Amino acid sequence: MEELKRLEKFQTVVSSITCHSLLSSSSSDSASSSRFLSNLVLFLVQPCGELDLDSKLGLLSEFLPKISGPFLEEISRSLELDDEATTPLNTISECQNSCVKRSVMDNVDPYMSQKHQEVVAMVGLDAMKRANSTLEDFSRSYFMFHRLDINEPQSIFRYLPVLSFTESYIYQMDALNEKIVSESACGSQVIYSSHGWNAESRVLFETNPLKPLGDLLEREALLTNRVQQEFNSGEEYWALERKLCHALSNKNKICLEDVMRAIHLKSFDYRVLNLLLYKLRGEEVNELHMDFLSISEFLVEVADDLFDYEDDVLENNFNVLRMFVGIFGSSNAPTELAKRISEAEEKYEEIMKSLDPHLSSNYQRRCEEATKEGGKISGHSLGTWNIPAVISDEEAYRSAQR
């Protein structure tokens, strides 16, 4: 059972509740209220013997007025006395001929921070397939900094389980965030507040989406402070992506500092994998290598954004060129972006002089290979940049492509 599919179902229900104005805007905690009602709706549509929807609603109409606060408090206290007790909804699972221990509501929203519940990190096969290209690139580009030979199978398979699971989990969360951003661009039911957030995205991301992964790594003695910092960077990037893409699609003002912060945060998954590899090998983090790779990651992300520019416009994805057009205008954006690229290249070349000559040579060779292969890869060729023609009217461009 894939966690991402459950989250998508939950998102659909939350959006429907918002669209039909079933939740009063005066609620003191709209995110918690939306979460509660969405869980209730999802529970009601679950099969339960021969009861149809009208029968279920009739039972609720009869039963709910009889429930009081003291009654619920009594139930809550009785459950807390027994560590083995499950939620009351589990008793209803008999209607579904189910033997799972977690309740129906727990199943539809696994990232909820429920009491007496431990959320287990899970990944789907599709996410693992899609994460493969990143893992291949990471192995070919980063293993050399750990003195690992990519041509030796044991160098890969020894660390593959942890690296693959981690990247696959992050990919699932990233895909979900992009789905929310895309819905915002096409004017669907996702509604943003004045702060660039919405109740639906808060429900999905306020409960620390990377915590289940962090808990798993902690049990394996792999969660370091640096890894946790990169998890925080990932959540910050997702928030900035939602904020910036929404602002751009609504022609609102964009802050350059936010854009530059986002492009630097975007490669947080590579840094997580790199830090995990240090931990797996029992070695101290090489700060010189981390600094060098950080600049390289920035250049790679810019190169990828230039390669994917048209697609990102269509899908309303974060793209540094899109953002620069929104800030500086279509005529000045390429020049302003070129300045940032030149500054990063100078830092890149300066730090490269401090690297071991053999390592420097190998990494340059890898960049050349990646550039020839094309696509979304870690290679970038210094001084040879191709900035595509900017799209000044994104709405017209999207309409023409439909």
**Which are the contacts of 139, defined by CB distance < 8 A and separation ≥ 6?**
150, 156
Handedness of CA 231, 234, 236, 242 (dihedral sign): negative
Q: Are 179 and 190 in contact (CB under 8 A)?
A: no
According to the model, what pLDDT value does residue 1 have? 42
Q: Are 229 and 271 in contact (CB under 8 A)?
A: no
Quick check: pTM over 0.85? no
According to the model, what pLDDT value does residue 3 have? 52
According to the model, what pLDDT value does residue 96 have? 39
According to the model, what pLDDT value does residue 363 have? 95
According to the model, what pLDDT value does residue 48 have? 85
According to the model, what pLDDT value does residue 13 have? 67
Token code pair at residue 45: 């549509």
DSSP state string for 319-377: -HHHHHHHHH-TTTHHHHHHHHHHHHHHHHHHHHTTS-HHHHHHHHHHHHHHHHH-SS-
pLDDT along the chain (402 residues), means of 10: 58 68 59 75 82 83 82 76 45 38 33 46 88 94 95 89 96 86 58 42 64 93 97 95 92 95 97 98 97 96 94 93 96 96 95 96 91 58 78 91 81
According to the model, what pLDDT value does residue 92 have? 36
